[in-house]
Structure formats: structure tokens, C-alpha cells
Amino acid sequence: MIHKSERGREIEIAPNKKLVLKLREFLLLKEIFIHGVMQSRSVHDFIQTLAETPIHSNTISNRLQRLVDTNILSIHKEKLTSKWSSEFRHHYMLGSFGVAILEEEGELTSEEAANVLSSIKGVKIPALEHVAASIIANEVYLECYYNQDMFDLSHQKAATHEWVTGTKWFQKEWSNQLHWVFETNALFICLVVNPKIVPRYEEVEQFAQSKGKQFVLIFSILDSSLQLVPEEKLPNVVKRVRDTKIKLQSNMRIKGGVEILVLPTSRTTTMVSRLLTREITFRMEDEFHELEYFCLEDYIAQLDRRDIMVEKGVIPKSRKNKKGTDVYTLTYKGQLQDIITIHGVEGAMYTFTRLMDALQRISNTRLSIPTSIWIVYDSPDQPEHDVLISLFGIEFWLSDDWTWYEEIHTSHETPMMLKVNRVNRKSRQKYFM
């Protein structure tokens, strides 16, 4: 029997013996139901984030053991290395009493409760990719937990999402690959960790249009940040991100309803949270003026440099780039040069495809004046981490709105930019020397 009080939910675990289940612990039960299995680090992070004051990790471990002893939770130990090692990784699942609590509180139907109970004894630790997706999902949920604008956020395993599992696209190829779903009223994000195949774009597009929301498919390439695999046992992460983008690029078309991102796991939580909170958006609404905030001629005009003049034009549409691309013609120290501007979103195939298109155009066209490519991001950390490719020995430059705005309004100087050279190395320097 459960009795609610100011302290929490008082649960009778034995005759004349009660346990007070705090609100954060009740929410933890709901979260473990969503995940099925949660790694110990995720459970600790969940409790610590929801606590009003910091809690020592030993205190959390002791409390979790109390919940295990009363069969509210169950625990599974995963041996990490050889049979001579004593190292284990702990995973938490619902216990039979925990299932009963959620059912009595109306969080589970009787059918859901019966399914969970029947699977408790035979539960296994999920595959590595599923564990990674669970950790990322928990980190995203906790980052958005105190955001009052995120009341409409829901998340769950893709295999339990009725709309996802009901599509032919999922049933045909993706039943073991599509790991997690994040959803708001306007946005639908699907997470795939270490994709084994890349989909045809038309399948993704059809999948998204049936939902009627902006659709983002994120390929997260596993690195050592989640501490699931030692770094020395992982192939080069940058190379895997780059190779995945190349495979996708041959099949991509720019379209407003769908976006695909390719990121290492160390950057996935940050980017998913920014997308969900609308801190980062894909500016595709205006056909020619894709850089909504970044306006080169306004910024340069404030530099008080009379030897720089700017005119704006548009590179026409191409087969892969269905929209025009902004180009600025600069007269600098008596010489003309063109700057092609591209809106940057870290990991986005939207950005990568436009870069490849611009590099091809410069390579295949006899240009009468020198041409540079600038990719402009929303925030300063994105240019540092985005994985891009330099083709045909053509160099390009990376910057961001915030840095340009701050530098020009404080020091009236053009800011340092990241120059990407022909061997894909980034160096920080000024474009106008």
C-alpha cells in the first residue's frame, strides 16, 4: 500500500516496516521503465541532477542498495574484462515491487506491468550501441529537465515507439539500428549509434513526411567519451565521421523537412539538447538569404576600412543544391575576390553538402577572380569540432555569428577564423591580413 506524504511516497515493504520513496526516486522508476536497463552512471547522474543539494556518491549507492534489497530495483553485474579480473559494470532494472508501485500509481497499465514482470528474470544487458544510446538519452533528458519550455519533450527507445515500428522503413532495415527517439510538438529526432548501413535519402524523406514534423536523423559515432570502450580499441573517430558523411553525401539533396547529422558521441548530447531547445535551427526558409543573423557587409562596414567594399549576389541553383548560395564580392586593396557563405551546423549534412558543391564549382569553373568559402556557425564551439573535407587543394574558412558580433563591436577588428587547409588541419588566423 502506498501513502503520499510531504516526505514522498510511504510504502509498506513488510508488516510494521515502511520505506519513504522520494519524488526523484519515483521519477527514476519511470525513467528505468523507459530505458529497460540503465547503467549505474546514468542512475547516479539522474539522482544527483534532481536532488536539491549535492549528494555524495556513496550515499546514492547505499540508497540504491536499499531499493534493491526491497526489490524495488534489481541489479545486474556485467564483468568487464578477463575471468581473472574483479571489475564489474553495474546496470539497474525494475524489480517486481518497483513494477507494482508504477502500476498502482497509474504509470503502467496491467498489460505493461505483466510484460515487464515476465521479462525481469530473462533480461540481458543490451548491445553496446543500445547502452550508448541510453546514456546519451539520459544526458539529454537531464540537460533539458529544468528548461520550462521543454514540457512537451518525450523520449523512448525506438523499438517501443508505435509510429516508428509501424513504418516499412523501420521493419525492413532499421529494426536493430534505430536506437532512440526524442520528440516535441515541432521536432522529431531519431538517434543511431554506430550505423552499419546508411539509408537511401528517399526512404528517410518519406518517413519524415508521414510524421508532419521537422525530422532530424543523427548518426552518433562511438568514441571513448562514454567510457564503454577503451580509446585504443576504437578506430579513428574523425575518419569514421568523415567516411560516413562521404557515403551520405553522394545520396543527399537539400530539403527543408529533413536533416541528417553525423557526430562523435562526445558531441551528440550537446547538439541534441541545442536542437530540442531551438538554440540551433536549420535556416532553410528563406530561399536566398540563408544566413539570418550573419550579414557580412554590415560587419565589414563597421570596421572603418575604406579599402574594403562589398557587393552581394547569388550563385545560381545546381542539381544537388536546390537553393541559391549567397556570394559576396569584395574589393580589398584594389583586388576583387568572391566569398561564398554557407550556414554551418556542426555535423549537418546540409552544411557538408553545400561545402562539397561549392568546392566542386570552384574546381570545375574557370574563375576570373579568387574565390573563398566561409562557413559561419551559430556558436564558437561548433567550428572547432565539425569534421569537414578539403578537396582539390582548396582552402576554406570557419567562423561564427557570436565571435564576429562581439569582436567587431568591442575591438572593431575582424576576428580570428579557422582556416582549413588541404590536409584538413585547422589553424587560427585572420582572413584580412
Q: DSSP per residue over 86-108, as a string?
A: --EEEEEEE-HHHHHHHHHTTSS
Yes or no: say if 225 and 265 are a contact pair by the CB < 8 Å rule.
Answer: yes
Task: Confirm whether 58 is domain-assigned.
Answer: yes
Rounded-to-integer distance, Cα 225 and Cα 222, Å: 8
Classified as helix, coil or strand, 403 is helix
Task: Confirm whether 286 is domain-assigned.
Answer: no
The last residue of a domain, from among 125, 152, 169: 125
187-193 and 214-221 beta bridge pairing = parallel
Residue 116, φ and ψ in degrees, nearest 5: -65, -45
- pLDDT for res 19: 82
Are residues 105 and 149 both part of a single domain? no
Give the domain range for residue 318.
Answer: 296-429
Are residues 117 and 92 both part of a single domain? yes
Yes or no: say if 417 and 395 are a contact pair by the CB < 8 Å rule.
Answer: no
- pLDDT for res 133: 94
From first to last of the 433 residues of the chain, give the pLDDT tens digit. 555 554 567 776 666 677 888 889 999 999 999 999 999 999 999 999 998 889 999 999 999 999 999 999 999 888 766 544 457 888 999 999 999 999 988 898 899 899 888 887 777 788 889 999 999 999 999 999 888 777 788 899 888 877 776 666 555 566 667 789 898 888 888 899 988 766 655 566 666 666 677 888 899 999 999 988 887 788 888 889 998 898 888 765 545 457 889 999 999 999 999 999 888 776 544 433 444 445 666 666 665 555 566 666 555 444 344 444 667 777 766 777 778 888 889 999 888 988 888 888 787 766 667 788 888 888 889 999 999 988 777 888 898 888 877 777 777 677 788 888 765 678 888 876 5
Are residues 399 and 330 both part of a single domain? yes
Query: The domain that contains 70 carries what CATH number?
Result: 1.10.10.10
Task: Confirm whether 75 is domain-assigned.
Answer: yes
- pLDDT for res 394: 81
Yes or no: say if 341 and 273 are a contact pair by the CB < 8 Å rule.
Answer: no
Classified as helix, coil or strand, 301 is helix
Yes or no: say if 164 and 170 are a contact pair by the CB < 8 Å rule.
Answer: yes
The last residue of a domain, from among 125, 154, 181: 125
- pLDDT for res 258: 73
Task: Confirm whether 281 is domain-assigned.
Answer: no
C-alpha to C-alpha distances, 123 to 27, 218, 421, nearest whole angstrom: 21, 28, 50
Rounded-to-integer distance, Cα 79 and Cα 116, Å: 24
**Nearest CA among 193, 218, 194 for reference residue 204:** 218
Which pairs from 363-367 meet CB under 8 Å and 24+ separation? 363/391, 363/392, 363/394, 367/338
Are residues 101 and 139 both part of a single domain? no
Are residues 10 and 97 both part of a single domain? yes
Q: At what angle do helices 40-50 and 23-35 cross, to 10 degrees?
A: 140
**Nearest CA among 425, 406, 91 for reference residue 228:** 91
Yes or no: say if 29 and 83 are a contact pair by the CB < 8 Å rule.
Answer: no
Task: Confirm whether 78 is domain-assigned.
Answer: yes
- pLDDT for res 137: 95
Task: Confirm whether 289 is domain-assigned.
Answer: no
Rounded-to-integer distance, Cα 116 and Cα 136, Å: 23
Are residues 301 and 418 both part of a single domain? yes
Are residues 194 and 243 both part of a single domain? yes
Rounded-to-integer distance, Cα 329 and Cα 313, Å: 8
- pLDDT for res 368: 65
H or E element that contains 272: helix 265-276
Are residues 149 and 105 both part of a single domain? no
- pLDDT for res 62: 95
Rounded-to-integer distance, Cα 82 and Cα 146, Å: 42
Rounded-to-integer distance, Cα 90 and Cα 234, Å: 22
Instruction: Report the predicted TM-score, pTM, of the whole model to 2 decimal places.
Output: 0.84
Task: Confirm whether 282 is domain-assigned.
Answer: no
C-alpha cell at 41: 552512471
Task: Confirm whether 226 is domain-assigned.
Answer: yes
Rounded-to-integer distance, Cα 236 and Cα 224, Å: 11
Are residues 157 and 194 both part of a single domain? yes
Are residues 89 and 120 both part of a single domain? yes
H or E element that contains 5: strand 2-5
Rounded-to-integer distance, Cα 173 and Cα 199, Å: 9
Are residues 257 and 393 both part of a single domain? no
As a residue count, the chain comes to: 433
- pLDDT for res 169: 58
Q: Which residue has the cell 543527399?
A: 252
Residue 299, Cβ neighbours under 10 Å: how many? 18
- pLDDT for res 343: 82
Q: What residues are paired with 264 via a beta bridge?
A: 221
Residue 207, φ and ψ in degrees, nearest 5: -60, -45
The last residue of a domain, from among 95, 125, 155: 125
Q: What residues are paired with 50 via a beta bridge?
A: none
Domain count, the chain: 3
Rounded-to-integer distance, Cα 158 and Cα 174, Å: 10
Are residues 338 and 239 both part of a single domain? no
Evaluate the CA torsion angle 33, 35, 37, 40 in order and state its sign: negative
- What is the amino acid identity at position 388? L
Yes or no: say if 48 and 60 are a contact pair by the CB < 8 Å rule.
Answer: yes
- pLDDT for res 40: 94
